[in-house]
Amino acid sequence: MGKYALYQNKVYPVNFQGQVLCLTSKFKENGFNELIDIVGNRHDDIFIKEVSLEDVLLVYELKMNAIYKGKEFETYGVDSSTLEKNYILLFSMDYEDVNDFGFRKHEQFVYQKEVALGDIDALVEMKKPILKWENQPESRRTIPNNKIRDYLSQL
């Protein structure tokens, strides 16, 4: 799903530019400036701030799995647009999932299935610390079916 940084008790999407972390926000916040892209266009809906590793509490990679009919699967492309699509694309490398769950072959040894949001048992949010925090344990949080829509609207 992406990489994020915990900075001043808030979570921001982050990109790396050498030793500099570039935080992104949809809102004008203290110290954040409008994004000016490579060709010089201003973006008044994207704000950035450059900080160092020492300025942030944690940097992690966020991944999302889904539990479907009691089994946990990898997902692809889960974000705020998932609400509009109203489905989640599940992946598996287990041929048995073709017969057991109706997956279809995507490529050799990879199977996939589009599953309606209402049929997902739960989402599993996984935060894997990276950079100087990589030795910290991964955290997992389960989002039950009745909270999935609220959760996705916050992404």
Count: domains in the chain: 2
**Residues 17, 80: one domain?**
no
Residue range(s) defining the domain that contains residue 6: 2-56
CA-based diameter of the chain, in Å?
54
Q: How many residues does the chain have?
A: 155
Residues in the chain with pLDDT values less than 50 = none
Pair of tokens at residue 116: 């309606």
133 and 64 assigned to the same domain: yes
Q: Which of 56, 73, 95 is the last residue of a domain?
A: 56
Handedness of CA 49, 54, 60, 61 (dihedral sign): positive
Is residue 32 domain-shared with residue 96, that is, in the same domain?
Answer: no
Please write the tens of the pLDDT for every residue from 88-123: 999 999 999 999 999 999 999 999 999 999 999 999
Residue 79: per-residue pLDDT: 85
- 44 shares a domain with 70: no
Q: How far is the C-alpha of 82 from the C-alpha of 116, rounded, in Å? A: 10
- 65/32 same-domain check: no
pLDDT value at residue 17: 84
Tokens matching residue 99: 């017969």
In a shared domain, residues 89 and 149: yes
pLDDT at 93: 96
Whether 7 and 44 share a structural domain: yes
Question: What's the pLDDT at 131?
Answer: 94
- Total-model pTM: 0.84
Does residue 103 share a domain with residue 70? yes
pLDDT of residue 80: 80
pLDDT at residue 136, as a whole number: 97
Quick one: the chain helix, strand, coil %, rounded to 5? 20, 55, 30
Q: What angle do CA 15, 75, 53 make, to 5 degrees?
A: 20
Residue 83: predicted pLDDT: 92
Q: Do 147 and 81 share a structural domain?
A: yes
Which pLDDT score, from 0 to 100, does residue 104 have? 96
